[in-house]
Amino acid sequence: MANRSKVISIILFLPAFIMLISLGGQKAEWKGKIKKEGGIKVIKNPKEPLSNNPKREIYLKEIMRIRDNGKDIVFRWPENLVVDYNENIYFLSSPHLYKYDKNGNFVFKIIGTGQGPGEADPGLRKRFAVINDEIVVRAISPLKVMEFDLNGVLKEEIKLIEPFRLFRFIGNFREEKIYAVQTEVSWELKGKSGYIDFHGNIYEFSSDFQRHKKIHTFPVQFYFDRSAWFGQAFLEFTIKDFENLFVVHTSEYKIVRFNLKSNKIDEIITREFRRIKRPKIKKKPGFLYGPDREYYQDVQKLLIFEDNLWAITSEKNEDNEWLIDVYDRDGKYVDSFFLCFPDGIEPKRYQNIQIIAWKNFLYSVDQDKEGYYSIGKYRIPGLSDK
């Protein structure tokens, strides 16, 4: 009878033990609220995540670094970092677009300086994406889209109509539709001053860029002063599964999930957040300044890592490392940690952060102590090894 009692005790204990393992060190009870506001699901997360070990430090492990050679390959402010389905790495560094293979070997650089085929003005920012196994580049001067194959050979150039001058591609696609975002303002405001909402417009293009339609507008607050404007917030976005577009368009902590299939907002994710104050700007005589912004934008960057949404916040630790908030597929705040880069490496900070996640790795545009740029590929211990 005693042996039978022991067996029964083990059987009763086993489900509880399995449950503890599956929670992965998380608290069992979520203490947020879910409400409907204006017909939209709003997930209001508490200040602390479900994790029992929030705000710990996670140190990135460098597995590859791409550097220039200071001769025919020179990185000048690399941006628009992209990784394709075969883990090839692309980025813009004026005036060229560079491609490296997954092992960090140089493949090619394309886009010359000028007005001809495969050329563009290097002084104006370009944007690109890898779409349907093509490298698609938007140039401003001349206003066109250049399409290259994955070997860097120019296939076609398509003239763009005037309104589409500054759009940014939304992710990389293998579908017939191409999505892009462009912030627009009415020029009727010239000569006026005050707070206004610029239009963060989401556009859907056909694959040949001959047809387009505006599918949604997100308001982005600016301060307008006669002929100059000053952003009070900036538009940040990331895409998941070719369908869910996560957008930040306010200075306050608010993440919108927009459905690209239905063209509707499915939900809004928020959490209690202690806002980070900005230092006062020293203003020089003769220069035009907007009003002082009291706080940094709460959410600086969005990433998709595995099945979770990461929000890079404005909060930092004493070593100037970002706090990352982690949300599960239900929009619940499950974890947080400070993302720590190797000694001597400094990723680009605050607005326009150049970090992307792909296949369980992070890629980042970095600077060393001397200010030289490079591209780093990192593994995240405990996460990238799954």
Angle (CA) 295-301-305 rounded to 5° is: 145
179: left (phi over 0), alpha (psi -120 to 50) or beta: beta
Instruction: Tell me the torsion sign for CA atoms 330, 333, 334, 339.
Output: positive
Q: Which pLDDT score is estimated for 28?
A: 65
Q: Which pLDDT score is estimated for 250?
A: 95
Q: At a CB cut-off of 8 Å and minimum separation 6, what does 143 contact?
A: 159, 160, 162, 164, 165
Just give the CATH number of 38-379: 2.120.10.30
Q: Whole-angstrom Cα distance, residue 97 to residue 25?
A: 44
Q: Which pLDDT score is estimated for 152?
A: 97
Instruction: Using only the alpha carbons of the chain, give its radius of gyration.
Output: 23
Q: Whole-angstrom Cα distance, residue 43 to residue 331?
A: 7
Amino acid in the structure at residue 317: N
Q: Whole-angstrom Cα distance, residue 327 to residue 310?
A: 6
Q: Say what the pTM is.
A: 0.88
pLDDT tens by residue, the chain, 386 residues:
444 333 333 333 333 333 333 344 556 689 999 999 999 999 999 999 999 999 999 999 999 999 999 899 999 889 999 999 899 999 999 889 999 999 999 999 999 888 899 998 765 566 899 988 899 999 888 889 999 999 999 999 998 876 777 788 988 666 678 899 988 876 566 666 778 888 899 999 888 888 889 999 999 988 777 666 677 788 899 999 889 999 999 999 999 999 999 999 999 999 999 999 999 888 888 777 778 889 999 999 999 998 999 999 999 999 989 999 999 999 999 999 999 999 888 776 545 688 999 988 999 999 998 889 999 999 998 765 44
Q: Which pLDDT score is estimated for 248?
A: 97
320: left (phi over 0), alpha (psi -120 to 50) or beta: left
Joined tokens for residue 236 = 């940040």
Q: At a CB cut-off of 8 Å and minimum separation 6, what does 3 contact?
A: none
Q: Whole-angstrom Cα distance, residue 96 to residue 100?
A: 13
Which uninterrupted H or E stretch holds 254? Answer: none
Report yes or no: 382 and 58 within 8 Å, Cβ to Cβ: yes
* Nearest Cα residue to 181 out of 200, 164, 197, 207: 200
Q: Which pLDDT score is estimated for 189?
A: 60
The residue written with tokens 């402010």 in the block is 77
Q: Which pLDDT score is estimated for 6?
A: 36
What are the sequence ranges of the domains in the chain? 38-379
Q: Which pLDDT score is estimated for 175?
A: 65
Q: Residue 26, class by beta-carbon neighbours within 10 Å (0-12 exposed, 13-18 middle, 19+ buried)?
A: middle
* Nearest Cα residue to 115 out of 84, 140, 134, 90: 140
Q: Which pLDDT score is estimated for 44?
A: 98
Sheet with strand 178-184: strands edge to edge: 168-169, 178-184, 192-205, 212-226, 228-231
The residue written with tokens 């190797």 in the block is 342
* Nearest Cα residue to 200 out of 178, 185, 219: 219
* Dihedral, CA of residue 326, residue 328, residue 332 and residue 338, to nearest 10: -10
Q: Which pLDDT score is estimated for 300?
A: 94
Q: Which pLDDT score is estimated for 222?
A: 82
Cis peptide bond N-terminal to 142, omega within 30? yes
Q: Whole-angstrom Cα distance, residue 82 to residue 90?
A: 5
